[in-house]
Chain A
Amino acid sequence: MEITFRSLWTIIHGMGFGALYLLACSGALIELYRLTCSSAPSESTPGQTRFLKIYLVTMTALAWAAVLTGAYVIYPWYRATPPPGTVDLSMYPQRLLMSRPSTSGWHSLGMEWKEHVAWVAPISITMVAFVFIRYGRDLVNHKRLRAAVLGFAAASFLAAGLAGFFGAMINKAAPAQGGPTIHLREGAEK
């Protein structure tokens, strides 16, 4: 059982940061909705409000970690230019995708959108975390700000979801491979 260095970083980026962010985002959306839009009386305590602040700060860190590892660790491997005459493009995911009509759209639409729209997620969630920390329990007195916070959190979820979907599909069609091989476990002989 082994994994390449690039595959490991792709997992850290996509599942460690990206997927965890999406999971956390769905929870945050429900909690923000409950806290800000529900007409029912809220039972939130100061401790719960503090927990949500820490939760949002953690989400912000995850979102930034996802885009920064994506742009500065994975993306350079993805867009690497092969030496002239290279026939085997398996180490050059962008060129591999573009070499076949059946996969070129994953680059020209998927990656071209993902590499930019993904950054809306950390920008939006940073704002959401800031506003929630700044206003705290006083946010309930600002109806429009509450609704907008929820809207930006939803936009962040959408941006991260788009990036995650295209990232997963691109990695399926042309995975980032190479680098040192890390042996995780010796397999039993047949």
Chain B
Amino acid sequence: MSSANPLTSSKGPALTNGSGAAAMLAAGIGSFTLAVLALAADKLAPIKSALVFYKPTGPLSGVTTVAILVWLLAWVLLEMLWAKKTVAVGRVIFVAFVLLGLSFLLTFPPIGDLF
């Protein structure tokens, strides 16, 4: 039995890190957009009514639909830009996790109520 990790390629990475970094940053952007839109819909009546895409679900329908569209658009654009590139993935991941963390915090009502 070989002691080497069979997943490890001795030739180094076959793919650049750009595609993975693009997917992660887009997920962070999508989550953060959702939190900002939820906050905006809670505080501003015109935005709340503009985000009612499906009346029985109320503004949640617009908040989530727009956030998903922003997420997918950001993903497509970043994928087009970075797919074949090697990027500074540490910084990209840091930003993605900051956005993800903010989305948890901003959707938490006691924090959202501070704005």
Contacts and interface: CB of A to CB of B under 8 A. Distances in A.
A152 B3 CA distance: 30
Interface string B78-115: 00000000000110010011001001100111101000
Most-contacted residue by chain B among A35, A130, A138, A148 (CB, 10 A): A148
Contacts of A138: 9, 13-15
Interface residues of A, number: 47
23 contacts: A35-B7, A41-B2, A44-B6, A71-B57, A71-B60, A71-B64, A72-B61, A75-B60, A116-B35, A116-B38, A116-B60, A117-B107, A119-B31, A120-B100, A120-B103, A120-B104, A123-B30, A123-B34, A135-B20, A140-B8, A144-B93, A148-B96, A148-B97
Nearest to A122: B68
Given A79-B56, A124-B100, 7 more contacts: A67-B64, A75-B60, A115-B60, A123-B34, A127-B26, A141-B14, A145-B89
Q: Tell me the dominant secondary structure on chain A's binding face.
A: helix
A134 B6 contact: no
A112 B61 contact: no
B62 to A, nearest CB: 11
Interface in A108-130: 108-109, 112-113, 115-117, 119-120, 123-124, 126-127, 130
B56 A119 contact: no
